[in-house]
Structure 1
C-alpha cells in the first residue's frame, strides 16, 4: 500500500467518522461526547476510480475526538486524533501532525471535511456541508450515503451501522 493509498484510507476514516449518519451509537458519556462504529466504503470517481473500505470506531465530538480504521481482520490501519490544539494521523510508525483537523484532511484529500456536519449526520440530523450531500433516508436502517459533488473528483461514502 503506497503512502497516497494510506492517506486516502485515513481520509476515508475521517470522512466516515464525520459523515456517517450511520454508526452504532452507544450511550453518551456527556452531551458533547459520542461513540459510533460500523463499516464504511469510499469510492472516489477519479481516473481510474479508487475504492476503499474499512471498519471504523469514532469517539468524541467535532471539537475533539478519535477515529480508528480497521481491516476485516481487526488490524488497525490508521488512527486520527484531534483537539483544539491540533490533529494527528498515525499509520503504524508514521505520524502526520497539522494545526487542525481541516488542515489534516485537506492535506490528505485535497479539501477539508465538514466535521461538524458529519457528526450531525451520524446522529441522523440534516446539516449543511459545502460540496457534500447526505442521504439520511435509511438512517433508521443503519445506512447513510453521502456524496461529494465539489471539488472534483466526486466521491461517495457509504456507511453501515447498527441503529
Structure 2
C-alpha cells in the first residue's frame, strides 16, 4: 500500500511535514484489545527519510500500541484520516490501507520494510520509546531528548541510509 502511496504523497511530503510540525497531530488515547498490563501506548508524529537514488520521505501522525510481539501501528494524516493500520502477531502481519484492501506478510519486519521503504526495527523502536538504547545492527539511536518526547535513529547499513524521527505527544 505505501509503495503505491509514496508516488502520490511524494510531492506533498514537504508540505505534510511542515503541517505536521506546525499543527501537531494530537490524538486521544483509544482502547484496544491489544493493550494489556504488559502493553504500551504512544502517540505523536513520526517521519522516515530514506536516502536512496530517489530520496523518499514519509511523515504522519501515529498511534503505536501493544508490544514487539503483538501490536498495532496506525498512521494518520495531518487532517486526521487514517492512512493505514499495521497489525502484527506471531507468524503474521497485515497492512490495512482501507477500502477493504488488506495485505498479508510473513513477518512484521517484512511488513515494516514494505510499508515504510526501509526495514525499521520495530522491537528496537519499542525499546527506544521506553528509554532503552537497544542495539540494532546498522542503526544508532539518539535518546538524549527523550525526556522532551523526541527520539531520532539513523540506519547507516545496509544502504540506503535512513533517518527516523519520533515526536511524542506530551
Smaller-chain TM-score range? 0.7 to 0.9
Which protein, 1 or 2, shows the higher relative CO under an 8 Å CA cutoff with sep ≥ 6?
Answer: 1
Secondary structure of 2:43's aligned partner:
strand
Provide the aligned length of Structure 1 versus Structure 2. Answer: 145
Separation in 2, partners of 1:92, 1:62: 23
State how 1:116-131 maps to structure 2 within 5 Å.
116-131=123-138
Cα distance change on mapping 1:107 and 1:77 into 2, 3 Å: closer
Match in the other structure for 1:73 = 79
Secondary structure of 1:37's aligned partner:
strand
Q: Is there any run of 5+ residues in structure 1 with no aligned partner, and where?
A: 10-23
Q: 2:57 pairs with 39, 42, 51, which one?
A: 51
8 Å contact from structure 1 (residues 114, 130) kept in 2: no
Match in the other structure for 1:161 = 168
Runs of 4+ in structure 1 over 6 Å off: none
Give the alignment's TM-score, normalised by structure 1. Answer: 0.78
**Deviation of residue 124 (structure 1)?**
1.2
**Deviation of residue 118 (structure 1)?**
1.3
Give the alignment's TM-score, normalised by structure 2. Answer: 0.75
Q: 1:38 pairs with 37, 44, 53, which one?
A: 44
Cα distance change on mapping 1:106 and 1:50 into 2, 3 Å: closer
8 Å contact from structure 2 (residues 86, 93) kept in 1: yes
Residue 9 of structure 2 corresponds to residue 5 of structure 1: no
**Deviation of residue 97 (structure 1)?**
0.3
Computed over aligned residues only, the root mean square deviation of the Cα atoms, in angstroms, reads 2.6
Residue 98 of structure 2 corresponds to residue 97 of structure 1: no
Residue 120 of structure 2 corresponds to residue 113 of structure 1: yes
**Deviation of residue 52 (structure 1)?**
1.4
Separation in 2, partners of 1:70, 1:77: 5
Secondary structure of 2:109's aligned partner:
helix
